[in-house]
């Protein structure tokens, strides 16, 4: 059966991994503006405070792992109050070597290994919107090992480095997201997959993408009435089921177009996608055809 989480990570196409050690001592605080790219960190020893814009402040301790799929603005600091030094994440990302905050000399109070990467998918914003803004895991030993491996690979120039880093960050993303408590997550992919009945319908959508699904058919796979399924899916995932299905179809189609592999899949979707019930679904095929045409025009793609 299809695995929606793995498919979303694969379609996001994580690339270009960067990593470096971070430490802090004494009284310190740094405020980063929004970065936009995904970032992560593992706390190796000590503790500090993390306040992500729009989220509750977190206490990070040794063994913790944090993933920010879109990295909004955030402040990291010691527990003692200190004026925040404002930093540009784009300028900071270009620097190499350890980053030290606060007192320069002596043993640090906290040591972290942080990093960031990019998503190559043209639909990254849409796919990332299905993920939690912050993933904070405690006692994440497996993730700490992965982050260390990323750090080691980043610091060396061995053959196959880029491919190894890409695979490591794919595993890191899957491990972090599947370890996150889905039932407490905001509306999105993880919360939908944490609902046993909705997860069944989502797997069917991903597994039979070109099928002319109706809300009633999906409701049946979830063992729910049509109205109950529509309301529960919209509340839990953050969008109606047909909108989710259309968005996923378009994301897959765009990826195939970029790789010059649309071919029969596009023709199949064009002839099979029919109005599938639910508000606004009568325009589904027109939106798909128009979207594919606009993507070809925007990307410069041309069919033979």
Residue that finishes a domain, picked among 152, 181, 210:
181
Q: What is the pLDDT of residue 171?
A: 92
Question: What CA–CA distance (Å, rounded) separates 243 from 69?
Answer: 22
Segment 143-155 shows an average pLDDT of: 88
**28 and 174 part of one domain:** yes
Which pLDDT tens digit goes with each residue over 39-84?
999 999 999 999 999 999 999 999 999 999 999 999 999 999 999 9
pLDDT of res. 300: 41
User: Are 52 and 103 contained in the same domain?
Assistant: yes
Closest by CA position to 35, among listed 94, 78, 84, 81: 94
Same domain? For 123 and 13 the reply is: yes
Predicted confidence (pLDDT) at residue 288 exceeds the cutoff of 60: no
Minimum mean pLDDT range among 90-99, 145-154, 203-212, 274-283: 274-283
**CATH number of residue 165's parent domain:** 2.60.120.280
- pLDDT of 302 > 50? The answer is no
Regarding whether 76 and 14 lie in a shared domain, the answer is yes
Would you say residue 304 lies in a domain?
Answer: no
Any domain includes 14:
yes
252 within some domain: yes
Query: How many domains is the chain partitioned into structurally?
Result: 2
Give residue 301's pLDDT.
39
Same-domain pairing of 207 and 273: yes
Last residue of a domain, one of 126, 148, 181: 181
User: Over the chain, what HEC string results?
Assistant: CCCHHHHHHHHHCEEEEEEEEEEEECCCEEEECCCCCCEEEEEEEEEEEEEECCCCCEEEECCCEEEECCCCCEEEECCCCCCCEEECHHHHHCCCCCEEEECCCCCCCEEEEEEEEEECCCCHHHHHCCCCCCEEECCCHHHHHHHHHHHHHHCCCCCCHHHHHHHHHHHHHHHHHHHCCHHHCCCCHHHHHHCHHHHHHHHHHHHCCCCCCCHHHHHHHCCCCHHHHHHHHHHHHCCCHHHHHHHHHHHHHHHHHHCCCCHHHHHHHHHHCCCCCCCCHHHHHHHHHHHHHHHHHHHCCCCC
Q: pTM score, two decimals?
A: 0.79
Could you tell me if 34 and 158 lie in one domain? yes
Task: For the chain, give the mean pLDDT.
Answer: 84
Is the model's pLDDT at 283 over the cut of 60? Answer: no
Report the CATH number that the domain containing residue 210 is assigned in CATH: 1.10.10
Q: From the centroid of its chain, how far is CA 216?
A: 30
| The last residue of a domain, from among 135, 153, 181 | 181
110 and 56 in one domain?
Answer: yes
Structural domain of residue 160, as residue ranges? 4-181
Percent of the chain with pLDDT over 90: 55
Residue 276 has pLDDT above 90, yes or no: no
Per-residue pLDDT, averaged over 137-155, amounts to: 88
Does any domain span residue 189? no
101: pLDDT strictly greater than 60: yes
141 belongs to a structural domain: yes
* Residues 22, 140 share a domain: yes
| Per-residue model confidence (pLDDT) at position 235 | 96
285: confidence class by pLDDT, cuts 50, 70, 90: very low
Q: Is residue 190 part of a domain?
A: no
Considering the domain architecture, whether residues 36 and 80 belong to the same structural domain is answered as yes
Co-location of 225 and 107 in the same domain: no
Is the pLDDT confidence value at 115 over 60?
yes
Residue 98: how many other CB atoms lie within 10 Å: 12
In tens, the pLDDT along 173-206 reads: 999 998 888 777 789 999 999 999 999 999 999 9
**Structural domain includes residue 205:** yes
Q: Does 175 lie in the same domain as 221?
A: no
Buried b (16+ CB within 10 A) or exposed e, 145-182: ebbebbbebbeeeeeeeeebbbebbbbbbbbbbeebeb
In a domain, 276, yes or no: yes
In this structure, the answer to whether residues 163 and 213 fall within a common structural domain is no
Tell me what pLDDT residue 270 has: 53
């Amino acid at each position: 059966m299809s695995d929606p989480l793995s498919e979303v990570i694969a379609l996001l196409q994580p690339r270009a991994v960067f990593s470096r050690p971070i430490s802090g001592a004494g009284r310190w605080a740094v405020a980063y503006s929004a970065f936009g790219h995904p970032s992560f960190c593992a706390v190796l020893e000590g503790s500090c405070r993390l306040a992500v814009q729009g989220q509750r402040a977190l206490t990070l301790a040794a063994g913790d792992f944090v993933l920010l799929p879109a990295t909004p603005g955030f402040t990291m600091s010691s527990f003692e109050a200190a004026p925040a030094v404002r930093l540009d994440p784009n300028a900071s990302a270009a620097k190499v070597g350890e980053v030290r905050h606060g007192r320069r000399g002596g043993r640090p109070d906290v040591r972290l290994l942080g990093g960031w990467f990019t998503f190559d998918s043209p639909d990254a914003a849409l796919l990332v919107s299905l993920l939690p803004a912050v993933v904070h895991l405690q006692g994440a030993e497996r993730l700490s090992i992965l982050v260390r491996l990323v750090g080691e690979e980043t610091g060396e120039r061995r053959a196959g480095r880029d491919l190894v880093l890409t695979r490591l960050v794919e595993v890191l993303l899957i491990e972090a997201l599947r370890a996150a408590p889905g039932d407490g997550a905001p509306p999105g992919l993880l919360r939908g997959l944490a609902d046993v009945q909705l997860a069944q319908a989502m797997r069917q959508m991903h597994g039979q993408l070109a099928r002319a699904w109706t809300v009633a058919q999906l409701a049946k796979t979830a063992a729910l009435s049509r109205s109950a399924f529509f309301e529960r899916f919209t509340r839990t995932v953050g969008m109606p089921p047909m909108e989710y299905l259309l968005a996923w179809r378009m994301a897959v189609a765009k990826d195939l177009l970029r790789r010059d592999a649309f071919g029969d899949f596009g023709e199949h979707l064009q002839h099979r996608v029919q109005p599938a019930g639910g508000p606004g679904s009568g325009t589904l095929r027109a939106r798909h055809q128009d979207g594919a045409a606009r993507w070809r025009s925007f990307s410069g793609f041309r069919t033979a």
